[in-house]
Amino acid sequence: MGCAASKGDKSESHERREAISTEPPNWDKEADVLRDAFQGLGTDEMSIVRVLARFTNRQRRKLLGVYKERFNEDLAAVLETELNGAAMTVVKALLHTPEMYDVTSLKEAFESEDYDTVVSIIISSRNDSLMDMKETYFTEFNKTLEDDLSKIPDEDVRHIVTSLLNVDRSSANKRADREAARKRATFLFNDGDILSLLCEQVGRNQLRETLAAFLEFYRINIGQFIEENCSNLSKQARDTLKDCVLLVENPPRYFAKEMAKADELKMLRMMVSRSEIDLYYIKKEFLSIYSRQLYDTIDKQCRFDYARLLIVILELRGQYTQSAKKR
């Protein structure tokens, strides 16, 4: 449900661009701003989100410690009592470590049978993150992630996701070998097994080089190739393989497409999880694909109480200097 009022919040966040500075943070001052947001007749939710969103997750850890030293209070606990609804959901997402946020999101997705989100988290996560995720999931919930993946109703999708979850790329070279990529592209054309390629113990750069060589040699769209060579798989599985390929070739484009159909909770998850990676590029890809701003889509697809906070995060974390460190 879109609300025109969120456009006003968007303009306000544009006006506050100066709030992001290259100067070292004054943590005492930031803690005071948060403290002031709890004073008076009501809690200033926008100020809280604006402070938290300005910083990286590691910096938020620092801010929690400073707040504790300054006021002898656990900021996370204070926020639990002061906030509710959308504001509480957004703030929790910002305060989780990236690893715990993924694990918590996975558990919630399994409980609500939102298997699209489960698949998206796993296929879009880096290999080292997946390894940590598996360990944390078992520690937190006393069951393996593979146990819950068995709940995915589509057998083909379940096989793809489980296969990718267990790939060990720890020894993969970061630099691509062009000659090896050309040989592998030829093998892919003859073999037709795209999942086997995606599960090889090589880095993303090597996979991307192989896919580029495949296109150069055979002039075949990889989506068409998957449709023709994986016709025995379900449509959902074929679409999952296409998403995996897109994540190798252009992660921001994948997330831009996912955001175009996301509700507020999925939008929040993607924006927070990519806020220190490529949110700036996602925003650019979104405009390129759909000829409209991501701000406007958030306004239309998300309820007002979420939209106004998500727009603040996008404005603060979607700048080049804030989320374009790596691609």
Gap between the Cα atoms of 161 and 237, Å rounded:
10
What is the phi-psi region of residue 277: left when phi exceeds 0, alpha when psi lies from -120 to 50, beta otherwise? Answer: alpha
Is the pLDDT at 4 greater than 90? The verdict is no
Look up residue 121 and give its amino acid: I
| Angle CA 295–322–116, to nearest 5 | 55
Strands (E), the chain: none
What pLDDT score does 8 carry? 41
Gap between the Cα atoms of 316 and 52, Å rounded:
10
- How many other β-carbons are positioned within 10 Å of the β-carbon of residue 151? 11
Average pLDDT (225-230) is 96
Question: Residues 181, 213: contact at Cβ < 8 Å?
Answer: yes
Question: Residues 248, 213: contact at Cβ < 8 Å?
Answer: no
What pLDDT score does 40 carry? 73
Average pLDDT over all residues of the chain: 91
Is the pLDDT at 9 greater than 80? The verdict is no
What pLDDT score does 318 carry? 94
Q: Tell me which of 121 and 14 has the higher pLDDT.
A: 121
Gap between the Cα atoms of 175 and 279, Å rounded:
24
For residue 17, count CB atoms less than 10 angstroms from its CB and return exposed for 0-12, middle for 13-18, buried for 19 or more.
exposed
Is the pLDDT at 58 greater than 50? The verdict is yes
What pLDDT score does 7 carry? 38
- How many other β-carbons are positioned within 10 Å of the β-carbon of residue 253? 18
Cα 309 → chain centroid: 17
> Could you read off the pLDDT of 186-224 as tens digits, one per residue?
999 999 999 999 999 999 999 999 999 999 999 999 999
Domains of the chain by start residue, with CATH = 27-95 (1.10.220.10), 98-166 (1.10.220.10), 178-249 (1.10.220), 252-325 (1.10.220.10)
Local structure of residue 40 (DSSP, 8 states): S
Is the pLDDT at 23 greater than 80? The verdict is no
Share of the chain above pLDDT 70, in %: 91
Short-list 220, 126, 139, 205, CA closest to 167: 126
Q: What is the 3 state secondary structure string of 51-81?
A: HHHHCCHHHHHHHHHHHHHHHCCCHHHHHHH
What pLDDT score does 14 carry? 40
Question: Residues 248, 204: contact at Cβ < 8 Å?
Answer: yes
Is the pLDDT at 108 greater than 50? The verdict is yes
Short-list 243, 224, 221, CA closest to 157: 243
Helices (H), 262-303: 264-273, 279-290, 294-301
Gap between the Cα atoms of 78 and 120, Å rounded:
32
Gap between the Cα atoms of 99 and 125, Å rounded:
10
For residue 206, count CB atoms less than 10 angstroms from its CB and return exposed for 0-12, middle for 13-18, buried for 19 or more.
buried
Gap between the Cα atoms of 107 and 245, Å rounded:
25
Gap between the Cα atoms of 54 and 65, Å rounded:
17
pTM of the full predicted structure?
0.90
